[in-house]
Amino acid sequence: GRKLRYPVQMKNQILALAGGVGGAKLALGLYKTLYPNQLTIVVNTGDDEEFHGLKISPDLDTVMYTLAGIYDNTSGWGLKDETFNTLKMLKTYGAATWFNLGDKDLATHIERTRLIRMGLTLSQVTNQLCKKLGVHPVIVPMSDNSVRTIAKTNKGNLTFQEYFVKYQCKPTIKGLEFKGAEQAKMAPEFMESLNTADAIILCPSNPLLSLSPILSVPGVRNLLKSFSGPRVAVSPIVAGKALKGPAAKMFAELGMEVSCVEIANFLKDICDILVIDNSDSHLASKINALGLKAAVTNTIMNTDADKTHLAEYVLSLIDNGTNN
């Protein structure tokens, strides 16, 4: 079994909100630190797409594969030891193959699509896939309804994967839209967790691409605003740079400052404590001036030890917040 390195208050139920890679890293740290039944991880599905008639949920898969220990850290997506024979054959047929779906990864999408066609919700499907991979905390999509992140760019409106993979984030972003959000409902376990959790952790994911879609689901923002327990976020911007992905470029294009202070500004009404990196310690006073509390530590998660250390640190902030 897993050794619990930091036995956080057993009673504490933790809700973590995550996007892709950065979110999955902290989620893994939390997974290794908490008891499985203490943790609910709600994941962005604005990046979801259909390819070859299959339903793809990249962020759900990134979190699921990471917790299952089968994630490909080198490419930054999909499964370890992957092959691409199916994709090559699809290419022979002239199908669009700019989105690199591996042979094993395709099994996930085939099974997900089959279960959805049988009438299961995305939450139920995710739960089933996780169980089969031996992943035990609850991983939930933000919604069982379709919400699609659309990038409004100088090259027109692009779906997230077109913007991110096909055009490699090159077009200039003018704005974002979350198509379908207005009609979407929170996934049932997300709603339950928002109403019963003792604390919320906003993982270091791109606020515009990962957290905003989650916040766009009706009711989420208000429940986060009125949440009574500690709400702790970890800044995905360190020393004026995004650790991964296009956050810095997008911030600049949208006239935002590329700094953890901007993260604080973005999150100030839904967050109490913002964890920033040691290299940004000089910005703590600016963050405090916005009404948040800055907490400073190493936030760069290269090794698994880094991930559990950051998780333990975040949980210690929560313990201090729920004990008094």
Residue of the chain from 22, 58, 204, 246 that contacts ligand FO1 (CB under 6 A): 58
Supply φ then ψ for residue 319, to 5 degrees: -60, -40
CA 13 to chain centre: 18
Does residue number 190 form part of the binding site for ligand FO1 (CB under 6 A)? no
Q: Which is nearer to ligand FO1, 49 or 306 (CB)?
A: 49
Residues 109-138 that bind ligand FO1 (CB under 6 A): none
Sign for the pseudo-dihedral over CA of 24, 175, 273, 37: negative
Contact status: 239 vs ligand FO1 (CB under 6 A): no
Residues in contact with ligand FO1, shown as a per-residue x/- string from 5 to 34 under the rule CB under 6 A: --------------xx--------------
User: Does residue 162 bind ligand FO1 (CB under 6 A)?
Assistant: no
Whole-number Å distance between alpha carbons of 306 and 301: 5
User: CB-wise, 61 or 280, nearer to ligand FO1?
Assistant: 61
Residue given tokens 């008891």 in the structure block: 35
Q: Binding string, 82-111, against ligand FO1, x = CB under 6 A? A: -----------------xxx---x------
**Can you read off the two tokens belonging to residue 124?**
């139920």
Judge whether 210 and 18 are in contact, CB under 8 Å: yes
Q: Which of 163, 164, 227, 251 binds ligand FO1 (CB under 6 A)?
A: 164
C-alpha 243/C-alpha 24 separation (Å) is 13
Helix/strand/coil percent split, the chain, to 5: 45, 20, 35
Which residues of this protein are in contact with ligand FO1, per CB under 6 A?
Answer: 19-20, 47, 58-59, 61-62, 77-78, 99-101, 105, 161, 164-165
